[in-house]
Structure 1
Amino acid sequence: MSEEQVNKEKEQVDADPFTRLMFGQPRRSENPTEKTEEGTQKKFGEDYYALIEQVDSIMDSVNKLKPMLKEFSPIIDYFKKK
């Protein structure tokens, strides 16, 4: 590390408590290209899996609500006529 980097880190660490409370500690990145590629692949897989789970839960909810909607259809038709 160069002296400039050490000084910058020291300044960031020496921030007042309010700034640390509101904004937190600054993030440090060592090898952003390697982490980004691995993180993107893992994140895509996790996001896809979460999306499929949500779609499945929505479909389950719709299937459970179908009988109730059939009971309310005459009421809805009545309001449509007026």
Structure 2
Amino acid sequence: MQVDVFSKMMFGDNAKQKTEKEEVQEEEVSPANEEETIDYMYIMNQIGSIMNSLDQIKPALKELAPMVSAIKKKIM
């Protein structure tokens, strides 16, 4: 288990050990875990939250658009 100097500097001493542990865990995945159910209600709630945030940000973006256009004209 030889760790090169770059990996040791960037990721510490445990970099190689972590990747080996992850490989072992990936091999142990059973077919039952592959058939996990997707929580569509959670996903839809998250999408709704994102859309609400965009609706709140939209007025601020409309105010910034003329300033961005003016800066763009000065640069060009």
Which TM bucket (shorter chain)? Answer: 0.3 to 0.5
TM-score normalised by the chain length of structure 2: 0.47
TM-score normalised by the chain length of structure 1: 0.44
Instruction: Give the structure, 1 or 2, with the largest relative contact order (CA under 8 Å, sep 6 or more).
Output: 1
* Max Rg structure: 1
